[in-house]
């Protein structure tokens, strides 16, 4: 006679109910309110707001710098994960803990520190200025700040997947005559690519919405170094709540489309025909 094993947590109906209520209160209802508030605008008014030159400049800057920061971390973060997984050396645990520092450090503190370091009179910025390179108050400085705050997303996504790849598979390929580049291309890349895309998407999404670490190093010059979150704050300070909501909706839609494309690409890689 079979004996029914009771689940550790309540049944499907109750847990699903809690999940939907929590998700609605935290995510769905706030987003719905934003869309409802933006619906007060006509289609022409909404289009005029989101296609204003200042908004488009901020859009290009926010998504462009977030994309490049995610690409940089995709390379450097994978390299860091490789070193932490494949090698044992003194100070390894310290470096591993330091990677999570951007998670714990307030972003405003990170922005102040980066600005003090890379400003024209900063410790590193003054040497860069002598070579004719301006870091702070430029898109380069914004990308640097986003690289700092989004690094853990790639490392912590790739690291466990890399640790689960059996070393015996690589050794077997090498014994069969595969060169290191062939082992990397045919064994490591297919296993790491889905996780890499996930880390890239997380870093990109975080970079698009980042505010605290960017406003200090950006300089906040309209049409040059003004990011979309700052432009939303400017609209709110001017009591233009409808305009701020319209920009927020546009930002949400663009982010959703980009993340959807990344997820579709990831799924296609995971389940090839």
Q: pLDDT for 118-135, tens place per residue?
A: 988 888 888 888 888 888
Instruction: Give me the helices (H) in the chain, please.
Output: 12-23, 29-38, 43-50, 53-86, 92-99, 101-104, 107-118, 125-130, 139-164, 167-175, 180-183, 189-209, 212-218, 228-237, 241-270
More confident residue, 106 or 4: 106
Residue 105 has pLDDT above 90, yes or no: no
Whole-number pLDDT of residue 61: 93
Length of the chain: 273
Yes or no: domain 42-270 corresponds to CATH 3.40.50.1820 = no
Q: For residues 152 and 154, what is the distance between their CA atoms, to the nearest angstrom? A: 6
Whole-number pLDDT of residue 9: 60
Whole-number pLDDT of residue 4: 55
Whole-number pLDDT of residue 259: 81
Q: Where are the domains of the chain?
A: 1-40, 42-270
Average pLDDT on 82-98 reads 89
């Amino acid at each position: 006679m079979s004996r029914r094993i009771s689940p550790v947590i309540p049944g499907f109906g109750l847990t699903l109910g809690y999940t939907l209520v929590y998700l609605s209160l935290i995510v769905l209802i706030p987003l719905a309110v934003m869309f409802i508030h933006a619906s007060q605008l006509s289609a022409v008014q909404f289009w005029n707001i989101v296609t204003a030159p200042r908004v488009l400049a901020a859009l290009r800057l926010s998504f462009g710098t977030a994309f490049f920061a995610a690409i940089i971390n995709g390379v450097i973060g994978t390299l860091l994960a490789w070193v932490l997984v494949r090698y044992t050396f003194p100070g390894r645990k310290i470096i591993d803990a330091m990677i999570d520092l951007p998670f714990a450090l307030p972003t405003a503190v990170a922005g102040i520190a980066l600005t003090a370091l890379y400003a024209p009179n900063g410790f590193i910025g003054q040497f860069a200025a002598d070579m004719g390179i301006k870091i702070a108050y430029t898109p380069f400085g914004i990308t640097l700040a986003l690289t700092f705050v989004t690094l853990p997303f790639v490392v912590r996504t790739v690291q466990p997947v890399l640790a689960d790849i059996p070393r015996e598979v690589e050794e077997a390929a090498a014994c069969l005559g595969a060169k290191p580049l062939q082992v990397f291309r045919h064994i490591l890349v297919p296993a790491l690519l889905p996780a890499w895309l996930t880390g890239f998407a997380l870093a990109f999404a975080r970079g698009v919405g980042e505010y605290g670490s960017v406003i200090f190093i950006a300089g906040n010059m309209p049409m040059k170094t003004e990011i979309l979150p700052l432009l939303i704050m400017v609209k709110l300070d001017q009591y233009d709540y409808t305009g701020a909501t319209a920009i927020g909706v546009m930002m949400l839609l663009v982010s959703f489309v980009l993340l959807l494309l990344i997820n579709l690409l990831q799924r296609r890689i995971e389940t090839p025909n």
